[in-house]
Amino acid sequence: MKSKAIVFVLCVLNYLAMAQPHDFLSKGKDTVLICGHRGGFYNQLPENSLIAIKYTVSHCNIKPVIVEVDIRKSKEGTLYVMHDETVDRTTNGVGKISDLSNAYLNTLYLRTSSGELTNELIPTFEKVLAYAKANDVVLMLDIKDDVWEETIELVTRYDLIKKCIVLTFDPAMTSKVYSLSDAVAISFLAKDEASWKSVQKSGISNSSLIAYITSSTTGALIKEFQRFKIAMMTDASESNRNNAAIYPAEFYLEMIAKKQIDILITDFPVDVSQKLK
C-alpha cells in the first residue's frame, strides 16, 4: 500500500508540473500578453535595437512585457542581435555578419525602417540579456544561426532561463532545444496535426511548450491545446499584412478570442497594449 501511495503522489506531482505554465504566463492569465516583434517597429527607432526595446518596455501597459529578438553570430563567435544575414539593410555597413569581426560590427550604426541613420549601435545579445534581467523583461528568441548551445548557455548564465521563449519551426529543432534545457519555454509551429504529433513523440513536457498558431491550425487542434493546458500565441504581422499600419482594436480582440491566444506578437506593442488595456 505504501508503494502505491508513493506512486500516486509522484503521478499527481508530475501532472501538476506538466499542467502549470511558466510564471510569466500565469501572471498574465487574465489578459493576453503582448510581444514586440524585433523589439517593436517605430518610425524613428531601429528594429532589434536597445532603444526600441527600452521604449516598448517603458510604454507598454500590459505586464510583463515580452520582446522578440533575432540572434546571429559574428566571425569571432560573439552573439549579436540582428534579423538579416547581412548588415546591409539595417546599418551603414556591408557584409554577412558571420564574416565580420567584432571590431567592425561595433563601429556600425543602425538605420530606421525608412533608412535614416541613427546613433544606435548593434547590440550584443549579452547587452540585451543584462537589460532584460534588470527590468523584468521576457525575451522571445529567434535563433538564426546554429548557435543553440551558446544561446542557452548565455541565458542560463544570466539566470533568465525561466524568462525566455525559444522559437522553433520544426520538430527536430524543438527536440534539440529541449535537450539543451528542460526549463526554457519552447514555441513550436502548430500548423497541423502531423506537426503536433511529431512534437508529442519527442516526449517534451506540455509545461515547456507554447503552440505557435497559424492560419492552418484547426479549431480542433486549438481545443486540444486547451485541454492539455498548452499556452498559445500568434502574430499580427502588420508590416507584412497591413502595409505597416496598426489594425483597429476589434481586429486584435477577435483574433485573441477566436484562437484563444495567450501571447500576441505585434509590430506595434505599445499601441496594441493601449488598445487592449
> For residue 48, what is its C-alpha cell?
532589434
- Element (DSSP H or E) covering residue 186: strand 185-190
Model confidence at 17, in pLDDT bands (50, 70, 90)?
Answer: very low
pLDDT at 203: 87
Q: What is the pLDDT of residues 244-275, one digit of tens each?
A: 999 999 999 999 999 999 999 999 999 999 99
Share of the chain above pLDDT 70, in %: 91
Average pLDDT over all residues of the chain: 90
pLDDT at 112: 96
> For residue 2, what is its C-alpha cell?
505504501
| pLDDT above 90 for 158 | yes
Q: What is the CATH number of domain 22-71+129-276?
A: 3.20.20.190
Give the mean model confidence (pLDDT) for residues 216-230: 94
DSSP state of 36: E
Give the mean model confidence (pLDDT) for residues 60-88: 97
pLDDT at 162: 94
Going by C-beta distance under 8 Å and a sequence separation of 6 or more, which residues neighbour residue 272? 34, 236, 246, 252, 264, 266
Model confidence at 5, in pLDDT bands (50, 70, 90)?
Answer: very low
| pLDDT above 80 for 239 | yes
Cα–Cα distance between 124 and 236 in angstroms, integer?
27
DSSP secondary structure string for all residues of 166-183: EE-SSHHHHHHHHHH-SS
pLDDT at 219: 94
> For residue 231, what is its C-alpha cell?
499556452
| pLDDT above 50 for 19 | no
Model confidence at 149, in pLDDT bands (50, 70, 90)?
Answer: very high
pLDDT at 98: 98
How long is the chain? 277
> Pairing between strand 209-213 and 66-73?
unpaired
Domain definitions of the chain by residue range? 22-71+129-276
